[in-house]
Amino acid sequence: MDAPYTVSVVCLGNICRSPMAEVMIAGALKQAGLSQVAVESAGTSDWNEGSGADPRAGDVVARAELDLSGHVARQFAPEDFNRVDLILAMDSSNLRELRALAPSQEGAAKVRLLRSFDPAARAGGDLEVVDPFFGDPGDFDTTFEHISAALPGIVEFVRAEVAARA
C-alpha cells in the first residue's frame, strides 16, 4: 500500500458528532488490527474552525476511555477528496453538501452516510445521526449509540478496502 487508507467523518461544525465518531472509529480500527488506517474529522461549515470539541461530546466518549482533548475543528475542503478514501457524513444535509463540493463523480462516490453501515438503521430507514448540539446530555448518548452501532460495518468495509489495496 503506497499511502495509508484515510477515513474522514464530517458533520456541520466538527465539534460534536464527527469528533466523537473520529475517536470511536479510530479505536475500533485499532482494536481490529487496522491501526495503519488514518481517521480524521471535519465540518461542512467554518463556524467552529479552530475550536475544541464540545465538552458534552468529550464527556460521553471519556466514559469509553476515549479522549477529545486535542481536537481542533476544521472545515472539509475540496482538496480533501484527493487524499481521503472514505467520507462518512453524519446526516443527509452533510451528505448533499459534500457531494456538491466534490470535484468529480469519483470524489462524490466516496461519500456515504455513517449509519448506512448499521444494518438495523438501514432496515429501519433512519440513517441520520441527529445533531445533539442544541439538545441535552442524553442526545449525546444517543449519538454515541448510533455511532457505536455502525462501527462493526465500518471496520469490515475498511478491512476489505485495505485488503484490496494490498
pLDDT tens, residue by residue, 93-147: 999 999 999 999 999 999 999 999 999 999 999 999 999 999 999 999 999 999 9
pLDDT higher than 50, residue 1 = no
Look up residue 94 and give its amino acid. N
Instruction: Map residue 143 onto helix, strand or coil.
Output: helix
Give 7-18 pLDDT, tens digit per residue: 999 999 999 999
CATH topology of domain 6-165: Rossmann fold (3.40.50)
Write out pLDDT tens, residues 34-54: 999 999 999 999 999 999 999
- Which residues are CB-contacts of 28 (< 8 A; sequence separation ≥ 6)? 151, 152, 154, 155
Pairing of strands 111-113, 86-89: parallel
Catalytic: 131? yes
Mean pLDDT to the nearest integer, 15-36? 97
Q: Is 11 a catalytic residue?
A: yes
Instruction: Choose the catalytic residue: 16, 17, 54, 91.
Output: 17
SS (H, E, C) 78-109: HHHHHCCCEEEECCHHHHHHHHHHCCCHHHHH
Name the pTM for this structure. 0.97
Active-site annotation holder among 54, 91, 118, 131: 131
Burial 95-106 (b: 16+ CB within 10 A, else e): bebbbebbeeee
* Per-residue confidence (pLDDT) for residue 37, from 0 to 100: 97
- What confidence tens digit (pLDDT) does each residue in 62-75 have? 999 999 999 999 99
Torsion, Cα 10 110 86 152, to 10 degrees, reads 90
- Reply yes or no on whether 16 is catalytic: no
